[in-house]
Structure formats: C-alpha cells, structure tokens
C-alpha cells in the first residue's frame, strides 16, 4: 500500500494561533499545496478533523481507494497531514474520514481547496495558480477611490445571467473580462458587486449556499480566469465587491456539515446551528478554529484576488438568536436577551482583522434590523463595518412609489422619514436582486400608472436615489428598465434597448453615475448631516421636496427639487440662502431620457423675496414626475 510521507507546513506558533482562533492565513497551511520534497514532486495535504481516527486522501490518482493515509499531528490540534508524491495540479481528491463517533465515515471535499469540479461533480482539485497581476496603479491608489468620502455607485451582477451566449450557455470569466468590463466602464459605475462566486453546488441558491469557500466557481473558468476579470476591472478604474456568506452553509454530503462525524463547523445545538429559513447549518462562532477559518477566508479574497470590499450577507441572522424562530425554538444568552454574543464578537474581530491587514478596502453589512452602530468602529462599541445596506429606505421608498401619484400627498412622511435616521450609519441605498424576484416584479412594473408614468416614475426614483445621501447600488437590468422579473437561468432582456423608453433609462443611469462622480456635493459628505439640508419637506399638497446637497466647498453645493406627481409645477418658488444665478445641470424629464422635455433652459435669477425661511428665493419649473438639479 503506498504510504504518505511525513511532512508539515505548520510551526508550533501556527498551531498556537490556530487553536486560539488568531491564525488569519490558514489558506497558506491547510488544504492541498503542490511542492517538491527531497527532490520529489507531489502535494502536501492538511485537514482539520479532530474527531477522526483515520483520514485518507482518495482521488483519481489512487482510483478513489484508501491507499494514502494522512498522519495526525501529535499536538492535539486535530490536524491530519502528509505529502503524497506523484500528485499535483489537476489531481481530483476528497478526504475519506473515519470518525471516532459511532464509526461514522464521511467523504468530504477539502474546505480549503483552491479549485473544485464543475457541479454537479463534487471533488476538490489540487490547484497551483500562476498569474501576473497588472493592476498596480489601482492597488497603490485605491484608498483615494474606495474611501467613505468617495463616490460608490455599485452595479450588482449575477455572473450566470448577466448575459448568456446564443445557446444559453454561460459566458466565461475571460469573455466577461471584455464584455462586462467594457459595459460597466461605459455606464460609469464606480464598482461592481458579484453575487457569490465561491463554489456552490445548487444553481437556484444563486451562490448563497457555499461548499467551496476558497475556490471561485468552475462554472465560468479557472481561478486565474477570475483573477483576469478582477484585474481588467481594476485596470479600468472599477472597484470589485464580493458577496461573502459567513452566516450559513448547506448540508450537502461533501460539504462542511458533520465534517469528521461531529459538529465541527456548525453549532451542535440545533437552536443555534440550524437555519429554518434556508434549511442550512450555522457556523459555531464560539469555536476558535471556526473563527480562524472564516476570517482566513475573508482575508483570502482580499489578498489572493485583490477584492476591494466584501459585502457580508445576512448579518441580521447572525446577530440574533431568535432570528426567524418561534418562541421555544431559541435560548436566550447569559444576559437573558436575544443577541448572539459569540457572533457579535466574531463580526467585530473579523472587521478589525480586515481593516488592520488591508488599506483602502471596505466591509459592507447586509443588515436588515435596527441593530445600532453597525458601521461604527469597534473601539467605540460598534460592529466595525464601513457601510450598511439601508433596507428601511429601500422598503419605504418602494412602498411610497407604489401609491398612485394622486394619493401621494397623504404619504409625504413615508418619503421623508429616512432623513430622521439616515446619518446614524454609513448607509448604502440598495435596489438589489432581492427586490426583483419571487413575484415582487421588476422595478419598472412596481411603478404605478400607464407606460409613460411608469417610465417617468422610474426616472424619478433613480433621480431621487442619486441625490439622497448615501452610496448607491443597482441590480443588473435595473439600469435599462428590465420589464420582467430576474431569471437566474437566462440572460437579461438586452433586446429591450431597441426601444427608446428603455435606452432612455439606460442613458439616464449613465448620466446620473457621471453626475454623482463629478459633483463632490453628492459624495464628499454623503454619510454626515453636514452634507444635507432641507429647504422644504412640508409641501404635501404638491408632493414636492426641495433640499440642498453640500460638499466641502460651498461653491459645489447643489439644489434639488423633486416632483412626485405627473403635474408640471410652473414657476414653483424655492427659498435660497444667497444671491446669484442658478443653472439647471440635470433634469430627469429631458427628452433624451424619454421625458416630456420640461426643462429650465435659461439661467434662474435669485430674487429678494423671502421664502422657506430664507431671505431670497427663485422660481423654476419642476417637471412632472421629475427631479431637477441646480448649481
């Protein structure tokens, strides 16, 4: 029987860090690593399986037989390791684990595998990448592009359905490195956000049920091909945000569940270790080695794949013990309340580790509750994220827009309410994939009225979004008014761009991105109340809002007027603080966007007529269902 040669990548200090949960580069040690030992080519394997009494590497090199047994370390770490000659890049393998628990035998993919077989096949693949990055300029200067005082207009993308080939097959990472990069650049988005690209077995999960935490999905190509896509985005000045899922994982037989015949990665108590919504398992955040696994994984994508930010999925489900649970299905913490103290501690450690190890990156929370200080530093009691999705704004805004404009005067408080809390966090305004599935309809068809009003409402929605404080996120297809719900199994409806109303929406979003990037008043103070001032939020009868967005320099200030009805507001008087002339720089009703063309073509004079509590004022025309921006 072929043996496994004794070899180790672990020092005693590595083991100490791992057991204390402080080893944040475990991907350099655990997993499979092609190398040469004593002049012999082969692969070093290492896996954590403390409840095992034997671990074998089985694969195509030994006909999936138990011929190569790993050696358990003597230090009680639960790590099994060894060097197998004659294996290398491309070798298919799994770990066959014989447990001490009731003789359970599991056959598992490598949690640290750098590559996986194309689903539905489930083996890990020994991988050794050789990629030369060309994004030095971006990486050296990204702090100036990725800071909280920079514009963030994010294009959220599901790689499997952004665009498909004529036979409905996937585009590859390499093809996307041309098509997608050129499109995002042309549309003037500042960042792309990829829905999970880590390996996942089940397409309908959209990638949110991961089995290969360290492997880009093989659906679209190799790990180096994905690096090429990131590299090309960076070379074109576009930041890359990756969706990351530390909240739960699926029960697939080859995955992390019951890994060594014990609850190794998941919490052993089903009240804390099983997610009723997603029928999935929840990580044991109190276990040091699990924390090290997850933090190492976060750092891996920032380190090895040059990601600029991680958007952390389903944070609320991690923070609360009673999330989606009925009475009796959860147990309070030691203080008798519903906060998951171990998960909160983990999230803080995660964010501190990320910001300590990388410059110019962001951590973004998808967190749907009123948990306080999500985007505030750990040092003052916060969770330590850089930004948080503003789910309340998204819900309130879409509820408001659902109203027939004739009734909106009764709902003015719904559209203004966000300003009472918008500066409590560093908020990103998201119209994400979640808003265009499961019968919710597309954004376009969530707008009321006939076709003209629907498109005008959508232009108004985007104009309001881009002038509201906060970073921006649009899910793919929203930028041209996709009319059907998102279908993960097919391409976006690109054929709609042959129609002027849809190409008009696309031009509008492109120009809003340009406006947002070019006007500091819209981003320099987007997370502080110093960057916003109401002129008037009380004109219920006309359903009009007027406000100021402020930059560092007063000369950059912008005046915004929004009309939420289809009635043209002629000679509408707005209070102004100082004398001068104002010019319209943007109008969502411009004919080039499919609007009616009710624009203010000449300079607007400020008059000495007191209005809105100001000593001066001016008159302008506010278009039907439109937004006007003045400078």
> Under 8 Å CB-to-CB from 160, ≥6 apart: which residues?
170, 203, 219, 220, 488
pLDDT (0 to 100) of residue 4: 77
Q: What angle do CA 396, 398, 400 make, to 5 degrees?
A: 65
d(CA 59, CA 91): 7
d(CA 55, CA 99): 9
Mean pLDDT on 324-341: 94
Judge whether residue 2 has pLDDT over 70: no
Please state, in angstroms and as integers, the Cα–Cα distance from residue 308 to each residue in 134, 135, 190, 312, following that order.
15, 12, 12, 13
Residue with tokens 């077995």: 201
> Under 8 Å CB-to-CB from 479, ≥6 apart: which residues?
155, 187, 505, 506, 509, 510
Mean pLDDT on 557-571: 97
Q: Are 262 and 51 in contact, with CB atoms under 8 Å apart?
A: yes
pLDDT (0 to 100) of residue 84: 97
Within 63-135, strands assigned E span: 71-72, 79-85, 92-99, 105-108, 115-116, 124-125
d(CA 601, CA 584): 7
How confident is the model over 345-393, as pLDDT tens digits?
999 999 999 999 999 999 999 999 999 999 999 999 999 999 999 999 9
Going 258 to 264 to 267 to 273, the CA torsion angle's sign is negative
d(CA 96, CA 302): 31
Tokens of 346: 């983990």
Q: Are 630 and 584 in contact, with CB atoms under 8 Å apart?
A: yes
pLDDT band at 206 (very low <50, low <70, confident <90, very high): very high
pLDDT (0 to 100) of residue 580: 87
Phi, psi torsion values for 62, nearest 5 degrees: -130, 25
DSSP secondary structure letters along 43-69: EEEEEE-TTEEEEEEEEGGGTT-S--B
Mean pLDDT on 62-80: 97
Mean pLDDT on 21-37: 97
What is the Cα 129 distance to its own chain's centre?
Answer: 25
Please state, in angstroms and as integers, the Cα–Cα distance from residue 339 to each residue in 115, 126, 131, 348, following that order.
36, 40, 43, 14
Mean pLDDT on 403-424: 95
Residues shown for the chain: 631
Q: What percent of the chain clears pLDDT 70, i.e. is strictly above it?
A: 100
How confident is the model over 424-454, as pLDDT tens digits?
999 999 999 999 998 899 999 999 999 999 9
Q: Provide the 3-class DSSP secondary structure of residue 471.
A: strand
Q: If you average pLDDT over every residue of the chain, what do you get?
A: 96
pLDDT band at 223 (very low <50, low <70, confident <90, very high): very high
How confident is the model over 478-519, as pLDDT tens digits?
999 999 999 999 999 999 999 999 999 999 999 999 999 999
pLDDT band at 617 (very low <50, low <70, confident <90, very high): very high
Tokens of 221: 């190509």
pLDDT (0 to 100) of residue 3: 67
d(CA 437, CA 488): 10
Q: Which of the 8 DSSP states describes residue 171? A: P
Please state, in angstroms and as integers, the Cα–Cα distance from residue 580 to each residue in 331, 522, 609, 610, 618, following that order.
64, 21, 13, 15, 10
Judge whether residue 34 has pLDDT over 70: yes
Beta bridge partner(s), residue 48: 79
Helices then strands, counting H and E runs in the chain, come out as: 13, 30
Judge whether residue 5 has pLDDT over 90: no
Tokens of 473: 């996120």
Q: Are 70 and 86 in contact, with CB atoms under 8 Å apart?
A: no
Q: Provide the 3-class DSSP secondary structure of residue 484.
A: coil
Please state, in angstroms and as integers, the Cα–Cα distance from residue 60 to each residue in 42, 55, 84, 94, 422, following that order.
14, 17, 13, 10, 56
Q: Is the peptide bond before 120 cis (omega within 30 degrees of 0)?
A: yes
Residues carrying an active site annotation: 313, 366
How confident is the model over 104-132, as pLDDT tens digits?
999 999 999 999 999 999 999 999 989 99
Q: Which of the 8 DSSP states describes residue 618? A: E
pLDDT (0 to 100) of residue 630: 97
d(CA 151, CA 192): 13
CA nearest neighbour of 565 among 533, 598, 604: 598
Q: What angle do CA 298, 302, 303 make, to 5 degrees?
A: 110
pLDDT (0 to 100) of residue 589: 98
Q: Provide the 3-class DSSP secondary structure of residue 535.
A: strand
Beta bridge partner(s), residue 389: 428
Check: pTM over 0.85? Answer yes or no.
yes
């Amino acid at each position: 029987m072929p043996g496994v040669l004794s070899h180790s990548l672990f020092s005693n200090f590595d083991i100490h860090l791992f057991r204390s949960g402080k080893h944040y580069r475990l991907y350099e040690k655990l997993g499979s690593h092609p190398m040469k030992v004593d002049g012999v080519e082969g692969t070093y394997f290492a896996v954590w399986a403390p409840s095992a009494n034997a671990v074998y590497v089985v694969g195509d090199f030994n006909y999936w037989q138990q011929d190569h047994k790993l050696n358990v370390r003597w230090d009680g770490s639960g790590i099994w390791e060894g060097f197998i000659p004659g294996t290398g890049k491309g070798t298919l393998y799994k770990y066959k684990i014989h447990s001490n628990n009731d003789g359970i035998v599991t056959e598992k993919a490598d949690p640290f595998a750098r590559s996986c077989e194309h689903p539905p096949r489930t083996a890990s693949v020994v991988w050794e990448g050789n990629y030369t990055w060309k994004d030095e300029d971006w990486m050296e200067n990204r702090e100036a592009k990725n800071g909280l005082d920079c514009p963030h207009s994010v294009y959220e993308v599901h790689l499997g359905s952004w665009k498909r080939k004529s036979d409905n097959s996937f585009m590859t990472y390499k093809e996307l490195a041309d098509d997608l990069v050129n499109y995002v650049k042309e549309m003037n988005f500042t960042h792309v956000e990829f829905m999970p690209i880590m390996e996942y077995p089940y397409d309908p999960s959209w990638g949110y049920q991961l089995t290969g935490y360290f492997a880009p999905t093989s659906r679209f190509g190799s790990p180096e091909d994905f690096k090429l896509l990131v590299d090309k985005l960076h070379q074109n000045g576009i930041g890359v945000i990756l969706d990351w899922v530390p909240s739960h994982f699926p029960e697939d037989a080859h995955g992390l569940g019951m890994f060594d015949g014990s609850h190794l990665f998941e919490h052993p108590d089903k009240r804390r270790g099983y997610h009723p919504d997603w029928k999935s398992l929840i990580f044991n955040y109190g276990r040091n080695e699990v924390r090290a696994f997850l933090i190492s994984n976060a750092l891996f994508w920032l380190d090895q794949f040059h990601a600029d930010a991680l958007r952390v999925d389903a944070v609320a489900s991690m923070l609360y013990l009673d999330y989606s649970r009925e009475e009796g299905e959860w147990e309070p913490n030691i203080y008798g309340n519903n906060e998951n103290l171990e998960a909160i501690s983990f999230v803080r450690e995660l964010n501190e580790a990320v910001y300590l190890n990388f410059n110019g990156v962001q951590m973004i929370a998808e967190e749907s509750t009123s948990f306080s200080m999500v985007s505030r530093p750990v040092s003052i009691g916060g969770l330590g994220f850089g930004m948080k999705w503003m789910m309340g704004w998204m819900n309130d805004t879409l509820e408001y827009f659902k109203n027939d404009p004739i009734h909106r005067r009764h709902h003015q408080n719904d559209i203004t309410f966000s300003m009472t809390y918008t500066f409590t966090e560093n908020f990103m305004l998201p119209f994400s994939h979640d808003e265009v599935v499961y019968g919710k309809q597309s954004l376009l068809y969530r707008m009321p009225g006939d076709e003209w009003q629907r498109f005008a409402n959508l232009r108004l929605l985007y104009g309001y979004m881009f002038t509201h404080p906060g970073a921006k996120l649009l899910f793919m297809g929203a930028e041209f008014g996709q009319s059907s719900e998102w279908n993960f199994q097919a391409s976006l409806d690109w054929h709609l761009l042959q129609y002027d109303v849809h190409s008009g929406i696309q031009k509008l979003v492109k120009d809003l991105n340009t406006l947002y990037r070019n006007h500091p008043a819209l981003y320099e103070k987007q997370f502080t109340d110093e960057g916003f001032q109401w002129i008037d939020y009380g004109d219920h009868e006309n359903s009009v809002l007027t406000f100021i967005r402020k930059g560092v320099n007063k000369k950059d200030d912008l005046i915004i007027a929004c009309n939420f009805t289809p009635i043209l507001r002629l000679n509408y008087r707005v209070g102004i603080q100082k004398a001068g002339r104002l010019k319209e720089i943007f109008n969502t009703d411009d004919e080039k966007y499919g609007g009616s063309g009710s624009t203010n073509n000449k300079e607007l004079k400020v008059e000495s007529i007191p209005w809105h509590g100001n000593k001066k004022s001016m008159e302008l025309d506010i278009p039907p269902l439109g937004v006007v921006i003045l400078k």
